[in-house]
Structure 1
């Protein structure tokens, strides 16, 4: 099986600082203590066997917020090594768009050849277990003003949020129709214990899909389903593909975070089983072509 994986993380704890790994805890996404070790490109490619990984996109790994550009600098050095095959082929960098130095940070990231976009986690939830940041960045005037700077750098925006935030996010996407948005982790359907929760996810995803500049990564499902099976993933995968269409959806691993809940090969084989009845062209789009096009790699 050949894949372009548009959502992976790497870290080198010997040389870089990641606050969440320096002080790991247990949350709904698992036990971060299990991730408190170096995870390098060689580790990813070893985990991937026998899946043939053609290209990868690295998404910011909550690196030291005082120096987010250092993560991009390191990743570019990794990509420039002759043995790396240019991996990570695309870099989605970290930035706080509400910070006074956001413009300078964006310029710093843009100086590196493999930078394709940025991510800033947006997740806000009334339940503290699921709340990431405790503030609504989408409503912050400074954040929105700096968001407009992405266009001048030709950067995309990886959007990690919950269904309750999707209506506001869709409005942002319409306001910035020339910026590519990529929904992370299948829209993070967190409120799974009610019909209202499912409806909020389904309707929110439809609002986002109504914006032609929004794509989606089918990933991160194991964060809410630690004992996942092909059948438990199936409805979310198929609903997402049906909502966004085959040309705006892509599979991704979220490794090594989802490594806590299954192997790389098992995850990609599950995706393959779920879309087993799709045409060869549709499979090529979901596994390879869309990620390459959206991230320009």
Structure 2
């Protein structure tokens, strides 16, 4: 049974086909079907009205949309601002950046003119197994040009959504330390590559180490995609993540439309609530909504 809770969905996507181009839809990289065989069932037009229909009947009072690999990140952000202005969805947006790009300053300037943009991100996922490489390169975190780009993001006062696997976390420590005034949102629960018992132990150790930095918060999107949909599959990961970071530094997220291929909204919320078990209601309120409102600067009670 669902327990009463105010939900801020801290991470979902839109797809504005055919107005915007999405190279990943055209090229269909095998890394995505390796994640989920029917991943491309979600590769179609997905608008605010579609999202609202999928969360209808649930207490989702605000949401944070995230860039979804459009060829023109600025055009995507401008369209999302239009959606926010016209339909009230989303309430914040995580826009795309390429930190070693020659036009980074211009892109950030455009984003400053869009009130919906509160954060930016660039995929850094890299692993020994080529099928797991969702970033363009594996050396960004040590590349001087990329790091100079990060200085511009920090100066702009934007939140940085951090996309790395758990085995990359030690390499992020210097970056996080160098920018103590920037909030880092570690996506996908620090995405553990190895889901075995040994992999869980390593993920727990790496997550504990990065949690020592007070400017890092954790977002638990893609739970179904990474761990599965059963209570047994997700419980120890969800409870351990929250016990390490604390509910005041953790955020719930749907990862729609992708995770909607795996479960509906009522099943998602009720399963996560069951995984939380006896976590006090005050902490559940932080996890399901209040942390995201604080991190992405959403007004209290934003609808």
Q: Is 1:69 aligned with 2:74? A: yes
Q: Is 1:57 aligned with 2:64? A: yes
Partner of 2:273: 272
Aligned residues: 290
Do the aligned residues in 1 keep the contact of 2:247 with 2:286 (CA within 8 Å)? yes
- Runs of 5+ consecutive residues of structure 2 not aligned to the other structure: 299-303
Q: Is 1:20 aligned with 2:19? A: no
In 1, distance between residues paired with 2:37 and 2:6?
A: 28
> Structure 1's 34 and 233: CA in aligned 2 closer, same or farther, altered over 3 A?
same
TM-score, L = length of structure 2: 0.92
The 5 Å alignment of 1:53-202 reads 53-64=60-71, 67-81=72-86, 84=87, 86-133=88-135, 134-193=137-196, 195=198, 197-202=199-204
Q: Is 1:44 aligned with 2:51? A: yes
Q: Which moved more, 1:71-80 or 1:40-49?
A: 40-49
Q: Deviations over 1:227-257 (max 9, x none)?
A: x201210000011001101110111111111
Do the aligned residues in 1 keep the contact of 2:167 with 2:192 (CA within 8 Å)? no
In 2, distance between residues paired with 1:63 and 1:255?
A: 16
Do the aligned residues in 1 keep the contact of 2:95 with 2:121 (CA within 8 Å)? yes
CA root-mean-square deviation? 1.4
> Structure 1's 62 and 209: CA in aligned 2 closer, same or farther, altered over 3 A?
same
CA displacement at 1:33 relative to structure 2: 2.4
CA displacement at 1:171 relative to structure 2: 2.1
> Structure 1's 273 and 194: CA in aligned 2 closer, same or farther, altered over 3 A?
closer
TM-score, L = length of structure 1: 0.94
In 2, distance between residues paired with 1:17 and 1:235?
A: 39
In 2, distance between residues paired with 1:246 and 1:193?
A: 25
Q: Deviations over 1:174-223 (max 9, x none)?
A: 1100000001011111112361x223311111121100000001121222
Partner of 1:241: 242
1:240 alignment partner, SS class: helix
Q: Is 1:33 aligned with 2:40? A: yes
1:185 alignment partner, SS class: helix
Partner of 2:7: 3
Q: Deviations over 1:129-186 (max 9, x none)?
A: 2111242211111111110112221100001111111012122111100000001011
2:118 alignment partner, SS class: strand
1:7 alignment partner, SS class: strand
Q: Deviations over 1:248-282 (max 9, x none)?
A: 01111111111121112211111111224122211
Q: Which runs of 4 or more aligned residues in structure 1 lie more than 4 Å from their structure 2 counterparts after TM superposition?
A: none
